[in-house]
């Protein structure tokens, strides 16, 4: 009987050992699995880190390419603009001239009125056209012509290529003495037309009309063209 108890106890101990061994195997399997998972996570983390690095690098590369392309296009556009400006400076620019001067009139309110047409004989519009006149009983000096500025009631308009603009201008009221002087002497009317060309450069044409009372004729004593500019 003692032998049977001993065998029973031995089986119990063996069973207990097997159970312990079984738990150990499960734990080992779990540890191996955990290790595999950890390795997978580490590999995945490394992969995403590489992706993030690429995400950081590629935008910089793309931005650099865009910047270089923009600089190249800007340089090409500037070159073309210079070529275009040079090619059109003489042939295709706006060009205003004075013409068709009408006979001078003395109005009922004691003013002298002059009428003329401003023509654009160029190939591009003349912008911000501004016309000024000054009446003088004596000849204008060059200094007076260059320094003259006056308010312009018809400023800011555009004259298209091939078009003309009719302009009337009146002097201030004249005294009887001045009217008498006009009848005996000469009257000079200074006309200055300022405008901007297609390249936004300030240009002008100017001239003055010499009125000889005895034959009621206008003469251009001098005429300046728009190759002269204030911004030389």
pLDDT in tens, 96-152: 877 777 767 777 887 888 888 888 888 888 888 888 888 877 777 766 766 666 665
pLDDT per residue as tens digits for the range 144-157: 766 666 665 566 77
Sign of CA dihedral 177, 179, 184, 188: positive
Q: What average pLDDT does this structure show over 223-229?
A: 48
CA distances in angstroms from 133 to 39, 65, 143, 208, 231, listed in the order given? 93, 57, 16, 9, 21
Q: Which residues pair with 217 in a beta bridge?
A: 212
SS3 149: coil
Are the C-beta atoms of residues 170 and 116 closer than 8 Å to each other?
A: no
Question: For 72-102, how does the pLDDT look when each residue is reduced to its tens digit (9 = 90+)?
Answer: 787 777 666 655 554 445 455 677 877 777 7
Q: Contact, 118 vs 193, CB < 8 A? A: yes
Spell out the domain ranges in the chain: 1-91, 96-224
Structure tokens at 197: 């060309």
Find tokens 């009446």 and name the residue: 135
Instruction: Check residue 110 and give its pLDDT.
Output: 75
CATH class of 96-224: mainly beta
The model's pTM is: 0.51
Residue 115 and residue 168 in contact, taking contact as beta carbons nearer than 8 Å = yes
Is residue 19 very low, low, confident or very high in pLDDT (cuts 50, 70, 90)?
very low
Cα 149 to Cα 189: distance, rounded to the nearest angstrom: 14
């Amino acid at each position: 009987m003692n032998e049977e108890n001993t065998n029973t106890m031995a089986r119990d101990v063996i069973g207990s050992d097997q159970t312990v061994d079984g738990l150990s195997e499960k734990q080992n399997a779990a540890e191996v699995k955990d290790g595999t998972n950890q390795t997978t996570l580490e590999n995945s983390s490394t992969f995403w880190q590489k992706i993030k690095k690429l995400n950081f690098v590629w935008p910089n590369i793309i931005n650099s390419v865009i910047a270089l392309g923009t600089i190249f296009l800007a340089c090409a556009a500037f070159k073309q603009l210079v070529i275009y400006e040079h090619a059109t400076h003489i042939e295709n620019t706006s060009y205003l001239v004075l013409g068709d001067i009408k006979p001078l009139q003395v109005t009922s309110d004691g003013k002298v009125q002059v009428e003329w047409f401003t023509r654009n004989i160029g190939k591009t519009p003349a912008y911000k056209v501004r016309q000024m006149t000054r009446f003088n009983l004596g000849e204008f000096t060059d200094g007076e012509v260059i320094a003259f500025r006056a308010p312009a009631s018809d400023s800011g308009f555009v004259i298209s290529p091939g078009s003309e603009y009719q302009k009337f201008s009146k002097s201030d009221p004249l005294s009887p003495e001045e009217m008498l002087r006009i009848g005996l002497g000469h009257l000079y009317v200074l006309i200055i037309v300022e405008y901007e060309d297609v390249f936004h450069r300030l240009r002008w044409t100017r001239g003055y009309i010499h009125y000889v009372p005895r034959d009621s004729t206008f003469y251009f004593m001098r005429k300046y063209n728009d190759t002269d500019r204030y911004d030389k």
